Chains A and B, each alone.
Chain A
Amino acid sequence: MLVDLAQNTLDGLTSGAAYALLALGFTLIFGVLRRMNLSYGPTIMFGAYCATWVSLNYQVGLLLLALITVAGAVLAGGYVERLCFAPHRRGSAIAAMVASFALWMQFEELATILLPRHLYAFPALYDGGPLTFGPLFLRVEALAMLAAAAAVCPMLWWTLYRTRFGLAVRAVISQPVAAELAGISAPRVFFLVFALASAIGGLTGYLIAASHEQVTPMLGMWTTLKGLLAMMLGGLGSLPGAVLGGLALGVIEAHTQWFLGPQMRDLIAYLLLFALLAINPPWMAAWTTTRSAS
């Protein structure tokens, strides 16, 4: 019984690590641009598809596949930023979001044109069996996901709090007009944050695809839902919250699946979100109401 609990928690933390990374990407973009990027998941899917195409036509190593996924996601992310968010920087937030939704459709169509079958195999990370720690099992892919999250978080913290670029990002998040008056180029910050978020997304997408050993066009939808849910659970706009929200979502899903079955597993996340919106705790209220100046 205790072993099951521990195993489920471990599995939950693993999938939670993926959700945390996805939520981090969403939060970075939302925090800086104050807009929801609905194309974030699809750009990750695009990166994974690029890697899939390469793996189907060439023999390439795992590291190169990971790099291609990241590069594809960053390229797609840049495309989204230039097309949907840069033109509407001073204008309508809704227009930007709807445009990003349109690009979501575009990426899905592009994926099905490039690789017409619904499902494609993706090279696994590791061919052997799972690692064992006493009575607990841990697949190598799961370990890789945990390691990725454990590496990205402190690197992101360091970037934001110990570099000049991070100072600029935090200034733009805090007071976009004053940041420009201080000589910070807000458009450049937006673009670079987009690239950073896309890179994190690409890495996560690669690990997800390698873990499932398959890609489908639905990957875009899946990553969007999980990432958005995790971000909202952890408190919109908070980076530590994104990580905690992701981990919590993973653990809750894992235990729900064990006790209530796989159908409840997907439902529980939405129920949780509904409950949170209804209760409206202070950390959500702070962001759902308009932020005041100074």
Chain B
Amino acid sequence: MSEALLEVRDVVTAYGKIEALRGVTLSVAKGSITCLLGPNGAGKTTLMLTTAGVLKPRSGSIRLGGEEIAGRTPNSIVARGIALVPENRLVFASMTVRENLLAGAYQRRDRGEVDADVERLFGRFPRLQERQAQEAGTLSGGEQQMLAVARALMSRPKVLLMDEPSLGLAPLVVEEIFRIIGELHKEGATIFLVEQNAHMALRLAHHFYLIEQGKVTFSGNPGSLAEDEVIRRAYLGSANA
């Protein structure tokens, strides 16, 4: 059992009076692919945005490698080694593919290594290399997703957060995305993945959590709960929270 790199404890995040996260506790082990499943509105994206610092938690703790990061600014959290691939990709549409990657490396000062990383990522994503001078807004959905992942990797994060990478993509493209996630894991990455596509996610994850209505309701390894039960609750939510 490897150590927890990211630990979330009793996090409460609210939008005004509405509590989207009502005390979420989970942990992401180093070198693992940990998956967060849950129906729409359960709080998955809210948790991702809170961990990345875009939203501030009302209470609770988030620790990265033992260091408290809850409530910090997004750019200081990036500096500490977390990168989020946001829902809907949010690529910089008017900037070129290459500029998008350079933006991901904004905080890094090692110019030579940044350029080397760009080349390495182009090697992993050849379609991005083909389109490196094109504006990101002209890319297809799948290509934009690759770009969003590559951009996040440019900061050399300790933990990669991914919010619904398969959203709105064709099945073949989804396969490719998950293949890349698998590759990244083999190279030692720690990945915390939010997915609606429970089926694909459970094939890859070492550990998963089920979140429903702002609370974690199940934690386990794929196979420990009958997959059908998990998928049913992830997509539809259970009758009582």
Contact = CB atoms under 8 A, between A and B. Distances in A.
Interface string A168-211: 10110111011111111100000000000000000000000000
Nearest to B107: A183
Interface stretch (B94-102, B203-211, B216-224): B94-102
B209 to A, nearest CB: 22
Contact of B102 (A167, A178, A293): A167
B95 A171 contact: yes
A185 B75 contact: yes
A171 B52 CA distance: 18
Contacts of A185: 73, 75
Interface in B74-114: 74-75, 78-79, 83-84, 86, 88-95, 99, 102-104, 106-107
Given A294-B90, A294-B93, A182 B144 contact: no
Given A167-B103, A174-B94, A182 B151 contact: yes
B196 interface: no
Given A182-B104, A183-B75, A183-B78, A177 B86 contact: yes
Contacts of B90: 175, 177-178, 181, 293-294
Contacts of A118: none
A181 B83 contact: yes
B155 A183 contact: yes
Contact of A183 (B93, B94, B106): B106
Contacts of A175: 90-93
Nearest to B52: A181
A177 B54 contact: yes
B88 A294 contact: yes
B83 to A, nearest CB: 7
B103 A184 contact: yes
A122 B99 CA distance: 46
Interface residues of A, number: 19
A117 interface: no
A170 B106 contact: no
Q: Which of B54, B73, B83, B106 has the most CB of A within 10 A?
A: B106
B56 to A, nearest CB: 10
Contacts of B144: 294
Most buried by B among A168, A171, A177, A183: A183
A168 B92 CA distance: 11
A60 B93 CA distance: 49
Given A177-B90, A181-B83, A182-B151, A167 B75 contact: no
- Decide if the interface of chain A is mainly helix, strand, loop or mixed: helix
A167 B99 contact: yes
A93 B105 CA distance: 30
A34 B115 CA distance: 32
Contacts of B53: 180
Given A182-B155, A294-B144, A168 B54 contact: no
Contacts of A293: 88, 90
Contacts of B83: 181
Interface in A69-109: none
B91 A178 contact: yes
Interface string A12-49: 00000000000000000000000000000000000000
A179 B93 contact: no
Interface string B125-151: 000000000000000000010000001
B168 to A, nearest CB: 10
Contacts of A168: 103, 106
A293 B91 CA distance: 9
B73 A174 contact: no
Interface of B: 52-54, 73-75, 78-79, 83-84, 86, 88-95, 99, 102-104, 106-107, 144, 151-152, 155
Interface of A: 164, 167-168, 170-171, 173-175, 177-185, 293-294
Given A183-B75, A294-B144, 17 more contacts: A170-B94, A170-B95, A171-B92, A171-B95, A171-B106, A174-B93, A174-B95, A175-B91, A177-B90, A178-B86, A180-B54, A181-B74, A182-B103, A182-B106, A183-B74, A184-B75, A294-B88
26 contacts: A167-B106, A170-B92, A170-B94, A171-B106, A173-B94, A174-B93, A174-B95, A177-B54, A178-B90, A178-B92, A179-B92, A180-B53, A180-B73, A180-B74, A180-B75, A181-B52, A181-B78, A181-B84, A181-B86, A182-B103, A182-B155, A183-B74, A183-B104, A184-B106, A294-B91, A294-B93
